[in-house]
Amino acid sequence: MTLKLGVILLAVFPGEEFRGGKLKPIVTIILIAINVAVYLYTSFSSNLPLLESSDESIMQLGFKPIYIFTNPAEALIKVFTSMFVHADIFHIFFNMYFLWLFGSRLEGFIGHKRYLALYLLSGISAVLFHVAFIPVGGYDSLLVPAVGASGAISGVLGAYLLMLPYTRLVVCMFFILLPFCFRLSAAAFLILWFAEQVIYGYMRLGGVAYFAHVGGFVMGILLAPWLARCVSRKPSFLENFYRYLNELYGIQIIRPRGIGRTTKVILMILLILVAGGFIYGAYLTSSQQVQPFHVLDVYATVENVLQRDQVALTVEDGQLSFSTSQLTYVRILVNRLTPILYDKSNAGNSVNRTLEYTTIVNNIKVPVVFQGVIQYDNEGLVVYASGTVQSRVVQYDTRTGRYVLSDYITIDFTLDRSEVEYSVFTVLCFAAASIGVFAVPAVLKAEEATIFTRPEFPEIFPYI
């Protein structure tokens, strides 16, 4: 993992040669291979092969929360396909690096099947938390495709925290080009990382689905005691000897198994904050104290090329606002239709119209010719529309540094509005809150989940 903050660069490396049990990390290797293969496939069709995935592949394979309301079957499929799609080369590199760094160690202890179950269940939990956080974090995320294995990998990190807290990492901070490296226990690093995800999630920092990371991590914590019970490991001679001295004479030579008290307190506070946020989200949606919005399924065809996407519509104080789309034809179409998507004068009517008008794009007047049928609801907002739009495309001229009009294009389209059931959000919020609450006992009984004890104290953060 690499974190850039100003001129500071943070990098994490293994602090010791350590593998769990006799099992080789076969599932970890297979998962990395699948993720890399999918990335190669999605990136070769992009404008920058190997450097980023194409927008079309992200739209086709990524998970949009709106699918839960418009197409539940597709939503279920996209939950799994989205786990193996990555946006760019850095996204997949650091995800796979973290999967190998922590997953290859953990798999040797818990076994291939349980490790795969942890990975998939954590990925599902990540999607649940991501969707359930929308009422609190904002409804813009409803239409943004989420991709990446981060949520599933976060589950591996959560289980690792309770099961292997005393393994070591080397953390290097680079000030400009000068490295400053120190050893750190896995428990210290992971608790700091988890706190960062929760804080950044509530700060609504864009571009990253932080609560997806939170969801995977919490699921990993929840599953850790069950995974540990499946591990058969005989205590070493020294461990039995130390335990004998402790039980007979009260002499404690090694620190107790499990994460420290400070770590437990911090984890429980974070879990309470997470569960509390979802309970608040359930309150907002159940009491309908949210800004109402609608979703348009948009089908746009240009020269036999079909693009499909969803956009959100909101009317506030008599003004229409809508989300944008990453698909070119869909984005152009919705922009050109803006003047007729909301028309109070035709509220409750279905009209067949031919219109000529202009819209403003990048301060340029763009001519539009519309022919089609539009059906409005009682508030004057479009419910259904179909027809054709002829317009010119605005392009950026690199030679002059200005936007210019290109040739005309014809877009055949269909718009179909679907509604969002806020009661679904209420159920999802309670489900996510329950996972956070059920993870608390796992933290309280962390000693039962720890399967590898180090006698040495960490060199820094001695109480974590």
Separation of alpha carbons 282 and 442, rounded Å: 24
pLDDT category of residue 8 using cuts at 50, 70 and 90: very low
Q: With beta carbons less than 8 A apart as the criterion, state whether 70 and 143 touch.
A: no
Is the pLDDT at 256 greater than 70, yes or no?
no
What is the average pLDDT across 407-434?
A: 92
Half-sphere exposure of 365 (CA within 13 A, CB side): 4
Is the pLDDT at 36 greater than 70, yes or no?
yes
What phi-psi label fits residue 258: left (phi over 0), alpha (psi between -120 and 50 degrees) or beta? left
Note the pLDDT of residue 407: 86
Is the pLDDT at 4 greater than 70, yes or no?
no
Termini Cα distance of the chain? 21
CA 383 to chain centre: 31
Note the pLDDT of residue 317: 79
Note the pLDDT of residue 448: 83
Taking alpha carbons only, the member of 396, 399, 397, 371 closest to residue 385 is 371
The whole-chain average pLDDT of the chain stands at 86
Percent of the chain exceeding pLDDT 90 equals 56
Highest mean pLDDT out of 57-61, 177-181, 265-269, 419-423: 265-269
Block residue for tokens 């979802």: 278
Collapsing DSSP states into helix, strand and coil, what is residue 318?
A: coil
Q: With beta carbons less than 8 A apart as the criterion, state whether 334 and 413 touch.
A: no
Half-sphere exposure of 428 (CA within 13 A, CB side): 25
Higher pLDDT, 363 or 454: 363
Note the pLDDT of residue 200: 93
Burial class (CB in 10 A: 0-12, 13-18, 19+), 50: exposed
Separation of alpha carbons 371 and 114, rounded Å: 58
Note the pLDDT of residue 251: 59
pLDDT category of residue 405 using cuts at 50, 70 and 90: confident
User: CA–CA distance from 240 to each of 124, 236, 237, 247 (Å)?
Assistant: 40, 6, 5, 10
Note the pLDDT of residue 254: 54
Separation of alpha carbons 262 and 269, rounded Å: 11
Instruction: List, in order of start, the domains of the chain with CATH numbers.
Output: 2-287+422-448 (1.20.1540.10), 294-418 (no CATH)
Token pair listed for 375: 């059906």
Token pair listed for 346: 């035709």
Return the percent helix, strand and coil in the chain, to nearest 5.
50, 25, 25
What is the average pLDDT across 361-373?
A: 92
What is the average pLDDT across 66-79?
A: 90
pLDDT category of residue 237 using cuts at 50, 70 and 90: low
DSSP string, 125-137: HHHHHHHHTHHHH
Return the number of other C-beta atoms located less than 10 Å from residue 114's C-beta. Answer: 19
What is the average pLDDT across 360-387?
A: 93
Q: With beta carbons less than 8 A apart as the criterion, state whether 322 and 312 touch.
A: yes
Is the pLDDT at 438 greater than 60, yes or no?
yes
Higher pLDDT, 204 or 112: 112
pLDDT category of residue 461 using cuts at 50, 70 and 90: very low
- DSSP tag of 233: -
User: CA–CA distance from 114 to each of 82, 85, 118, 316 (Å)?
Assistant: 21, 23, 6, 50
Taking alpha carbons only, the member of 332, 424, 434 closest to residue 142 is 424
Residues 6+ apart with CB under 8 A from 334: 296, 298, 311, 322, 324, 325, 341
Q: What is the pLDDT of residues 304-361, one digit of tens each?
A: 999 998 888 888 778 888 888 888 899 999 999 999 999 999 999 999 989 999 998 8
pLDDT category of residue 409 using cuts at 50, 70 and 90: very high
Is the pLDDT at 257 greater than 70, yes or no?
no
Least confident interval from 74-83, 133-142, 349-358: 133-142
